[in-house]
Structure 1
Amino acid sequence: MKKIILNSEIEELSPEELDHIEQALLSRAQTISKLAYAPYSNFNVGAALLLENGEVLQSSNQENVSYPVGTCAERIALGYAGANYPTSAPVMLAIVAHRAGEEKWAGVSPCGMCRQAINETENRFKKPITMLILSAGGTVLRIKGISALLPIKFDDLNSAGLEY
């Protein structure tokens, strides 16, 4: 038997340790999360995406009574960026969440589909995307590239298998 050990590096910071760009991006994600359309889960997610051209895009989750039809905040931001700024790589993505009617922020992490969408975007531009995730305890996780959250990725339709 061969054992494969995968390691991830994630930084945990206080909000004061973030630079002004990171703080602004988190603030934008918090603001837009309050405009989420989440009548079924009451779980509002906000995302703010910084592109290398300096543009900041924001989005919130948009639910549908047919659950698979709803769209996550992260994928909306990445899709909009790809369609409207196809030559400007995303460099940083801030993600926050809270339950409707609650003041406290909730812990959140990109779902599997969002992780794959982030992976595809990184592959498209050949650059990692730094993610900032606000935790329920108020600290911020800084993750430099999707590999930390998705160590075994689906990258190539022509691959005969995973290579380590």
Structure 2
Amino acid sequence: MQEIKITTTLTCYDNIEELPQNIQELMQHAVEARKKAYAPYSKFKVGAALFLENGVVVTGSNQENAAYPSGLCAERVAIFHAGAQYPNVKIQQIAITATSDNHINKTPIPPCGACRQSIAEYEMRQEKAIEIYFMGAEGKIMKSDSLKDLLPLIFDKSYL
């Protein structure tokens, strides 16, 4: 038997003002997208904003459905829209913000597992890391230099 240790490194910013100006603007796009979330069941609203290499910002918000599995997370709404509208344009950064209508989340909230896998697919496809910034409604922001920091044992096409 062999034990394997996996470690990761993330950068933590104390507040949005510490972020580079372009990422502050991207996070503001995510906040505006979060306000458009359709979350009548969970009351948990998420916004995502992607910055593409061509300078375009694509946003998405979570869209729930009474048949829960039929809804879609903000990150995947944005990523799939970018993939459909700009299929050969690389994603450089993703900004994500999430909070509950029941209380203000001040802890950085990372993408769920399904979103991580979707981001991984695009990162592998474009052969370039995607910076991921995530936060609650306010407070600290975490930065991952690549999806591989959040999902180190990626399932990819090499297994198929």
| Amino acid in the other structure paired with 2:3 | K
Q: Cα distance, 1:152 vs. partner?
A: 0.5
SS in 1 for 2:157: coil
CA drift at 1:158: 4.0
1:5 alignment partner in structure 2: 5
Q: Does the 8 Å contact 2:108/2:136 carry over to 1?
A: yes
For residues 54-112 of structure 1, give each alpha carbon's deviation from its aligned partner in whole angstroms, at most 9, with x where no partner exists.
Answer: 00011100000011000000001010011100111001000001112655556421111
**Correspondence list, 1:57-76, <5 A:** 57-76=58-77
Q: Given that residues 135 and 141 in structure 1 are in contact (C-alpha distance below 8 angstroms), is that contact kept between their aligned partners in structure 2?
A: no
What is the 5 A alignment of 1:26-45?
26-45=27-46
8 Å contact from structure 1 (residues 128, 144) kept in 2: yes
Counterpart of 1:110?
Answer: 111
Whole-angstrom distance in 2 between the partners of 1:63 and 1:106: 22
* Residue matched to 2:154: 153
- Which 4+ stretches in 1 moved above 3 angstroms? 101-107
1:144 and 2:134 aligned: no
Secondary structure of the structure 2 residue equivalent to 1:117? helix
Partner of 1:126: 127
CA distance in 1, matches of 2:38, 2:149: 29
Gap regions ≥5 residues in structure 2: none
Cα distance in 2, alignment partners of residues 104 and 135 from structure 1: 5
Q: Determine the C-alpha separation between the residues in 2 that align with 1:20 and 1:136.
A: 18
How far, CA to CA, are the matches of 2:159 and 2:61 in structure 1?
Answer: 34
**Greater mean deviation of Cα atoms: 12-21 or 89-98:** 12-21
Report if aligned partners of 1:99, 1:105 keep a CA contact under 8 Å in 2.
Answer: no
Give yes or no for the alignment of 1:92 onto 2:96.
Answer: no
Whole-angstrom distance in 2 between the partners of 1:154 and 1:97: 26
Work out whether residues 120 and 155 of structure 1, in 8 Å CA contact, stay in contact via their aligned partners in 2.
Answer: yes
Q: 1:107 to 1:13 in 2, by over 3 A?
A: closer
TM-score, normalised via structure 1 length = 0.91
Q: Deviations over 1:119-160 (max 9, x none)?
A: 00001100111001114660110101111110101012546x
RMSD (CA atoms): 1.6
5+ residue gaps, structure 1? 160-164
Q: Return closer, same or farther for 1:136/1:61 CA change in 2, 3 Å cut-off.
A: closer
